[in-house]
Structure 1
């Protein structure tokens, strides 16, 4: 068996093992049951009994080695919801609190704080640790493990209390799909003067349409390669629908979008067509991560002052604000719940694009797989 701390030696808490479903080298995306000893709980950490974890496209890219080879078993999952069952003496949460954890689990700690953390933009911190398969940079060693598991330990400032109005199953998807789409709309001031486009009506796109409607965008354009989601797009808040397989619809949409979120990482994306729809001084924001380079003609950018930009998650403050906004405006992901034990079948369905629109794994309390008092 591979060491759970390979590549990042640390002290382990031998009194307990956490168990989850790990991606393995050469495993073709098939997750395997795997256990590890967590790091000892310190003063500003909490232990969470995980009840739900959403499945994100990046979990699939990672598990299938689309982003590169896997060198050790690693538990994915970064849309995590659970209940605090242990806390350090300085932790921000109490036992019994319902909390969520997203894509990051650590940044600058102690007295040495980088400029980005000082600015409240911790998602850009050079000392950050993503939620799974990443070395901690806090001086304690170890490698992070994600939420396809029964428990996790995390610094309490990276666990966020969930508003009472939002169920645990619904809350999970906000910690990646939600914040990934909320942040660029906030950053680029989407509102009554914005003609917004959303490319891809899936796990991210269906939440983006709801944010846009709540923000009062002047026009909300759902962009897809087929009509099969057209009716649902309007229910989610779209005011217009463009089927990119109909070239006449693309011609009619030339220079009509002020801000566009691309939530689709498909190899079939036609960047020339997307750029043709962008108005002068507009931004096309990449949210999905293609496995291959993208190409386009530079004249689309120069002639209209169009910018192609990326957007990376959101800060801790953004997450707190997003959860309050979702609770206030009744924004919820459309989800399908599956048992954790069915994670492989669920991941296959996500890979095939079947969900409408997000699959959330749900733990059966009677089948908890944590084992305490282990030698």
Structure 2
């Protein structure tokens, strides 16, 4: 444990207009300290599409003020006495979850499914803690306070700027790939090759898939996606009869697109008999296109969903990333540039993940 004399400052979203580059820098009060907590001096924070949804109250009313950012990497500067796996000075990371119930009789937590805990599921930002402990604030900030169970030690060999977006974007793709059988002998499709999807290509290859197919709307991404590691690319807007030419060729598809207008039936038609489609993209309102029952029945198709990953999965993913030298496509930006970075993210300019760099010489001037 180290000094508790830390001032928490960050980019505050005050209303739905914040997503238009109108966050304001200021101080905030973190959740009340518990001896299970870790305080982190942030060095990097990835910008995730979830941040935009929350800033504009796209998933329900956001409890403003809100500091978004759940792809956090930094140095542990205060460690509760009940935290045994982290010590002051360690390089650590936090993903999208800050706490679950962690009770021994919990059907989810007791089986390594903390990210699906039904009793308590506190997000890294924008959640109200039970028992009057306060509110969770994220990583567009100087510091973060999170329950130690969800604080992960970053292995040597991974650059902090690369590790940050893995804490959410990376594990959001790694978890369903691993759980649904990505590996040798499999053909894997990734729908939407952007900030999330490019991690899907990287981890599918790292897990040994025979073939990885990038699927996106425009052909202009083709060369980039092949360079990331995809073996084939389908441009749904530009490749005529793509769904017929590629019918029943893919074992597993991970869908990152968050649109109620996506051609879901055609995506399902790409699956081999018995194939699986896993949705990870979460649109505002949660609506997806309707699914025709005969599409499912005719191909014995399974449709599933997946959200982030449990702490053990993040650890496993980071170990694999270090072993395989996985390098996501990141674009570092100073924390002072957060408002413009959010606007650029909304405009689809990221290739493929913006990462905010948090330096004292910058934050002291904000």
TM over 0.5: same fold?
Answer: yes
Answer yes or no: is the 8 Å Cα contact 1:25–1:69 preserved in 2. no
Q: Secondary structure at the match of 1:347?
A: helix
Name structure 1 gaps, 5 residues minimum. Answer: 1-12
Query: What is the match of residue 4 of structure 1?
Result: none
- Residue number among 245, 252, 258 corresponding to 1:259 in the alignment: 252
Q: Over residues 124-162 of structure 1, what are the superposed CA-to-partner deviations in whole Å (9 max), with x where a residue is unaligned?
A: 11212111111223x452111111111011122211111
Within 5 Å, give how 1:24-173 maps onto structure 2: 24-29=14-19, 30-91=22-83, 92-109=85-102, 113-126=105-118, 127-137=120-130, 139=131, 141-173=133-165
* Aligned twin of 2:276: 283
Q: 1:278, 1:331 → 2: CA distance?
A: 27
The answer on whether the counterparts of 1:41 and 1:47 sit within 8 Å (CA) in structure 2 is no
Contiguous gaps of at least 5 residues in structure 2: none
Question: In structure 2, what is the equivalent of residue 6 of structure 1?
Answer: none
Shift of 1:233: 1.4
2: distance between equivalents of 1:117 and 1:370? 42
What SS does structure 2 have at the residue aligned with 1:247?
coil
CA separation of 1:370 and 1:158: change in aligned 2, threshold 3 A: farther
Q: Distance in 2 between matches of 1:260 and 1:347?
A: 28
1:221–1:47: structure 2 CA closer, same or farther, 3 Å change rule? same
The CA distance in 2 between the partners of 1:26 and 1:237, in whole Å, is: 37
| Alpha-carbon contact 1:17-1:38 (below 8 Å) kept | no
Distance (whole Å) between structure 1 residues aligned to residue 10 and residue 18 of structure 2 = 18
Distance apart, 1:267 and its partner CA: 4.6
Q: Distance in 2 between matches of 1:324 and 1:370?
A: 37
CA distance in 1 between counterparts of 2:306 and 2:347 reads 25
TM value normalised by structure 1: 0.90
Given that 1:207 and 1:332 are in contact with CA atoms closer than 8 Å, whether structure 2 keeps it comes out as: no
In 1: Cα distance, 2:111 partner to 2:16 partner: 41
Q: CA deviation at 1:112?
A: 5.2
* Residue 319 of structure 1 pairs with residue 319 of structure 2: no
Residues 78-125 of structure 1: per-residue CA shift (max 9 Å, x gap) = 00011011222232311111000001111125x654121111111111
Contact 1:100 1:172 in 2 (8 A): yes
* Distance in 1 (alpha carbons) for counterparts of 2:203 and 2:63: 38
Structure 1 vs Structure 2 CA RMSD: 2.0
Partner residue of 1:306? 301
CA contact (8 A) 1:21 1:149 kept: yes
Where 2:345 maps in the other structure, the secondary structure is: helix
- State whether residues 30 and 135 of structure 2, in contact with CA within 8 Å, keep that contact through their aligned partners in structure 1: no
* Residues 205 and 48 of structure 1, relative CA distance in 2, 3 Å threshold: same
Count residues with an aligned counterpart.
Answer: 357
What TM-score results when the alignment is normalised by the length of structure 2?
Answer: 0.92
Q: Give the direction of change, closer, same or farther, for the CA distance of 1:16–1:325 in structure 2 (3 Å limit).
A: closer
Partner of 2:201: 209
Query: For 2:12, which of 22, 33, 41 is the aligned residue?
Result: 22
Please state if 1:192 is matched with 2:184: yes
SS of aligned partner of 2:75: strand
